[in-house]
Structure 1
Amino acid sequence: MSMIACFLAISQDELDALYDESGEIAAVLDGEYAAQIIDIDKAWHGIHFMLTENSSASSPLAHAVLGIKKIGEEDVGYGPAHGISAASVKKIAEALNGISEEAFRAMFDAEAMTNAEIYPDIWDKDDEALVFLLTHFEVLKGFYADTAKAGKAAISFLN
Structure 2
Amino acid sequence: MGLRASYQYLGDKELEALEKFDNEEDIFETVEDRNEEAEILLDIDKMWDVLHFVLTGAGIGETVKGYLLSEAVVGVQSVENISEFTAYTKRERIADIINALEAFDIEKAMENFSMEACKNAELYPDIWDYDDEEDEIKEDLLDCFERMKDFYKEILEADGNVLVTIY
Pairwise same-fold verdict (TM > 0.5): yes
- The TM-score with structure 2 as length reference comes to 0.80
Counterpart CA distance in 2 for 1:99 and 1:112 is: 20
Superposed CA deviations along residues 11-61 of structure 1, whole A, max 9, x for unmatched, are 345313321135232213443425643201111111011112179542111
SS in 1 for 2:47: helix
SS in 1 for 2:74: coil
Superposed CA deviations along residues 66-105 of structure 1, whole A, max 9, x for unmatched, are 1121234222xxx231110111122111101112442342
Counterpart CA distance in 2 for 1:87 and 1:107 is: 32
Aligned residue for 1:83? 88
Counterpart CA distance in 1 for 2:112 and 2:65 is: 17
Output aligned runs, 1:92-103, within 5 Å: 92-103=97-108
1:12·1:85 contact (CA, 8 Å) conserved in 2? no
The alpha-carbon deviation at position 114 of structure 1 amounts to 1.2
Q: Which amino acid aligns with 2:7?
A: F
Structure 2 gaps of 5+ residues are none
User: 1:154 aligned to 2:162?
Assistant: yes
SS in 2 for 1:119: coil
Larger deviation, residues 90-99 vs 23-32 = 23-32
Aligned residue for 2:30? 28
Aligned residue for 2:110? 105
The alpha-carbon deviation at position 142 of structure 1 amounts to 0.9
Sequence identity, in percent? 29
- The TM-score with structure 1 as length reference comes to 0.84
Counterpart CA distance in 1 for 2:72 and 2:31 is: 19
SS in 1 for 2:54: helix
Aligned CA RMSD, in angstroms, stands at 2.3
Match of 2:47 among 43, 47, 62: 43
2:75·2:88 contact (CA, 8 Å) conserved in 1? yes
What number of residue pairs does the alignment pair up?
A: 156
